[in-house]
Amino acid sequence: MSCTALLGGSFDPVHAGHVALAKLFQDLLRPDQLRIVPAGNPYQKAPLHASAQDRVAMLQLAFNDAQLPIVIDRQEIERSGPSYTIDTLRQVRAELGPGAAIVFLMGADQLMHLDSWQDWQSLFGLAHIGVAARPGYSLAAASLPPAVADMISVRQGSLDQLRTTPSGKVFLAETLAVDISATQIRAALLAQDSVAISIANKTSSLIPPVVLDYIQQHQLYKN
């Protein structure tokens, strides 16, 4: 049985938290393929700041630098209209077939709002959900929306179940302690170049230096 992990997001820009989440589940799951799915027009967010072409280029730089083999899945940026995860998973399921294991990856902050996603209950019929803890967000049932807590309480599974069954399970990983947001990075980049440069020089970098170089070369996030 094949196992494919998917990480979706705006990646505006990709940052160290995205890379850390992907690496965590690459190490835990050992999937046959790790797909990164940049959003086209995310319906719950403001318009994106960087073009699809720039976001894809930054993704390739970041993951090549981290030596994480990935496939960029362009379906959302090529799709007209809003980007819904349910549509993406339906397309991946149709492509891979009913027997493949599919694991959709997310951070704990996304789990907190899962019940606001389009047709969210149907996600579990198409894929497993792998959730990584994030500082400031609890994975405890009491901290989640009641409908989400009820749904995942009967679906928690092991990594082996995620690898060897097609869909329907949830795995909560408590071992990721990275708290970075793209909003925070864009604000720093907009503030002044010296702030942006200091981002790359921190011991625990917020953004991969290769991505910062690309941003500066292409004059992104200036306004």
**What are the pLDDT digits (tens) for 49-96?**
899 999 999 999 999 999 999 999 999 999 888 889 999 999 999 999
pLDDT tens, residue by residue, 128-177: 999 988 776 777 777 889 999 999 999 999 999 999 999 999 999 876 66
Task: Output the six-digit token pair for 174.
Answer: 């408590």
pLDDT at position 56: 97
The domain defined by 3-178 folds into Rossmann fold (3.40.50)
pLDDT tens, residue by residue, 83-139: 899 999 999 999 999 999 999 999 888 998 999 999 999 999 999 999 988 776 777
Residues 6+ apart with CB under 8 A from 202: none
